Amino acid sequence: MSVESTETNPLRALSPQDLRAHAAEALTRARERSVALTDAVDDEDLIRQHSKLMSPLVWDLAHIGSQEELWLVRDVGGREALRPDIDDIYDAFQHARADRPELPLLGPEETRKYVREVRDKSFDILENVPLQGRRLTEDAFAFGMITQHEQQHDETMLATHQLRKGDPVLHAPSPPSSRSGRLPSEVFVPGGVFTMGTSAEPWALDNERPAHEVAVEAFFIDTVPVTCGAYAEFLDSGGYQDPRWWSERGWAYRGENGIDAPRFWKREQDGWWRTRFGVYEKVPAAEPVVHVSFYEAEAYAAWAGRRLPTEREWEKAARFDPATGRSRRFPWGDEEPTPEHANLGQRHLRPAEAGAYPAGASPLGVHQLIGDVWEWTSSGFEAYPGFSAFPYKEYSDVFFGGDYRILRGGSFGTDAAAIRGTFRNWDHPIRRQIFSGFRCARDARQGEVA
């Protein structure tokens, strides 16, 4: 059986008209979110840098428009440039985030006007450009790429909102409570070969490609992400003061930065509290822990007598169906995520309780692999065998190697258009402002069965 033989392209069944409508809906949903995140604050907040780790919100919004102009208006559409004078200002590789407030940025109203003009042209191009005959437009890929780029910056802007001071400006209903009853603490994943990555997913990005067979040894993985309650036990046992659990680099990072708890946590007389989008609340024990670095996740795993899963292990646990031997698009199957499957798209401003999405479990019985929190793995960011940069080297190629660690699965702030069972995120191991959590794994001992 070939590696690609069981993969399906979910857009191939659509007519050209329906494909255009699908791309337009995805672009519209992303823009509605961008507008909501930037209209939620006044212009003073929009231009302020809330943290040296993040750009001003107004930079992110104009950058979204600039990337859309470069790819959809100029490249796909072949249209005249709207604002070539700002290309350098909004090139993420030219200016570090800490320096962006000093640039001659477009003001709030000029930014809003610019992104509207770009979007009007993009919709006109979508209606008229052939969606075949060129790799960039096949299956509306360029429109999907820009949708994902905007949604990724929307999640970045959401993280900026978490860092801002002041009263809450974002509001959303609470996620569902746990609906799974008592779950086993871990799930057995059999060893063997499975198909990792994809060659058929129409909007998959270059680092997810191509599909290839990999083998993993049998292992156990946590049924759900590590919860705040479990992590508090690590804290209360003195885990942040004991170098036994930390790598040399992690211990140095902890000490040099005075880190003694997950970001936004504070110990009060009655336990641990946290700040969440301007709300000060008691840490909910049943929710997955969030805003922890790779080093903190690694230390907890060592304290618990476990380890972080590799990227291969995570993807096998998420996609492998032992009944058919094939890899699914998502843990629950090949259909797109719904609110029953996962906590995605900023519908809620927090992770859901562990066990809240039984419909989203994998065939092996692993829960909440998609949504809620990005999950740190132990793997670095490297190219798959047969990797080819597309449509530009700066998306993935320049980041391979280094000290990056892979995160998988998306968070409550990730849109469904920007996550798949194959999607790969990466960041430096020190990052804590992102919506990052983790689950643990362990080797299966000789003769051990599920």
Q: What is the chain's pLDDT, residue by residue, as a tens digit (450 residues)?
A: 345 457 888 898 899 999 999 999 999 999 999 999 999 999 999 999 999 999 999 999 999 999 999 999 999 999 999 999 999 999 999 999 999 999 999 999 999 999 999 999 999 999 999 999 999 999 999 999 999 999 999 999 999 999 999 999 999 999 999 988 899 999 999 999 999 999 999 999 999 999 999 999 999 999 999 999 999 999 999 999 999 999 999 999 999 999 999 999 999 999 999 999 999 999 999 999 999 999 999 999 999 999 999 999 999 999 999 999 999 999 999 999 999 999 999 999 999 999 999 999 999 999 999 999 999 999 999 999 999 999 999 999 999 999 999 999 999 999 999 999 999 999 999 999 999 999 999 999 887 865
Residue 2 has what pLDDT?
40
Q: How far apart are CA 405 and CA 325, in angstroms?
A: 28
**Three state DSSP letters for the chain:** CCCCCCCCCCCCCCCHHHHHHHHHHHHHHHHHHHHHHHHCCCHHHHHCCCCCCCCCHHHHHHHHHHHHHHHHHHHHCCCCCCCHHHCCCCCCCCCCHHHHHHCCCCCHHHHHHHHHHHHHHHHHHHHHCCCCCCCCCHHHHHHHHHHHHHHHHHHHHHHHHHHCCCCCCCCCCCCCCCCCCCCCCEEEECCEEEEECCCCCCCCCHHHCCCEEEEECCEEEECCCCEHHHHHHHHHCCHHHCHHHCCHHHHHHHHHHCCCCCCCEEEECCEEEEEECCEEEECCCCCECCCCCHHHHHHHHHHCCCECCCHHHHHHHHHECCCCCCECCECCECCCCCCCCCCCCCCCCCCCCCCCCHHHCCCCCCCCCCCCCEEECCCCCCCCCCCCCCCCCCCCHHHCCCCCEEEECCCCCCCHHHCCCCCCEEECCCCCCCCEECCCEEECCCCCCC
Q: At what angle do helices 294-303 and 248-257 cross, to 10 degrees?
A: 120
Measure the CA–CA gap between 12 and 26, rounded to whole angstroms. Answer: 17
- pTM of the predicted model, to two decimals? 0.96
Q: How far is CA 258 from the centre of its chain?
A: 27
Residues in CB range of 129: below 8 A, 6 or more apart: 76, 77, 137
Q: Which two tokens stand for residue 207?
A: 């680092």
